[in-house]
């Protein structure tokens, strides 16, 4: 069963551009991967530009083949047109989200929201576990 998430970037006018991600949306996986591999505005924006995502960090393709690189598996790679979604503000972004919503902010950090709480406290965010260092 999937843990769905929405991954977005905050634009200069405080609106949000985001994509859907089907698998592994919980902070212990997608949250860590976002912090580890998409740790700048440019890399977060490039991630969003690809459109909706099946898996954020994988080397398994659509036919269960092993891919040569690890990274996002975009729906566009199998011919689907799933462009980013634009929301006018944080409230709209969170109310139209998945189980978790991630946002790369103007402060240049990832913030995670548990949108399953269905009350005002979801706006407070949840902790993303620290990335593992080797």
Helix (H, G, I), strand (E, B), or coil: what is residue 121? helix
The model's pLDDT over 46-74, given as tens digits with 9 standing for 90+, comes to: 999 999 999 999 999 999 999 999 999 99
What pLDDT does residue 121 have? 52
What pLDDT does residue 123 have? 57
Domain boundaries, the chain: 5-124
Task: Work out the angle at residue 9's Cα, subtended by the Cα atoms of residues 8 and 10, and round it to the nearest 5 degrees.
Answer: 125
Report whether 8 contacts 103 (CB < 8 A).
yes
The model's pLDDT over 24-52, given as tens digits with 9 standing for 90+, comes to: 999 999 999 999 999 999 999 999 999 99
What does the DSSP assignment read for 40-72? SHHHHHHHHHT--EEEEEEEE-TTSPEEEEEEE
The model's pLDDT over 76-117, given as tens digits with 9 standing for 90+, comes to: 999 999 999 999 999 999 987 689 999 999 999 999 998 876
**Structure tokens given for 96:** 């139209």
Confidence of residue 120 (pLDDT cuts 50, 70, 90): low
Q: Which of 35, 9, 2, 36 is nearest to 101 (CA)?
A: 9
CA–CA dist 30, 86 (Å, integer): 21
């Amino acid at each position: 069963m999937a843990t769905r998430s929405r991954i977005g970037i905050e634009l200069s006018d405080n609106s949000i551009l985001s994509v859907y991600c089907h698998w592994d949306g919980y902070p212990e996986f997608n949250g860590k991967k976002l912090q580890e591999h998409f740790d700048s505005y440019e890399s977060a924006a490039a991630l969003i530009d690809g459109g909706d995502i099946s898996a954020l960090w994988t080397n398994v393709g659509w036919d269960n083949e092993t891919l040569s690189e690890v990274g996002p598996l975009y729906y566009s790679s199998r011919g689907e047109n799933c462009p980013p979604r634009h929301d006018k503000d944080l409230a709209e972004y969170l109310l139209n989200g998945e189980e978790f919503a991630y946002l790369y902010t103007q402060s240049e950090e990832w913030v995670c929201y548990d949108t399953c709480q269905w009350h005002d406290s979801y706006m407070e965010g949840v902790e993303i576990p620290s990335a593992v260092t080797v």
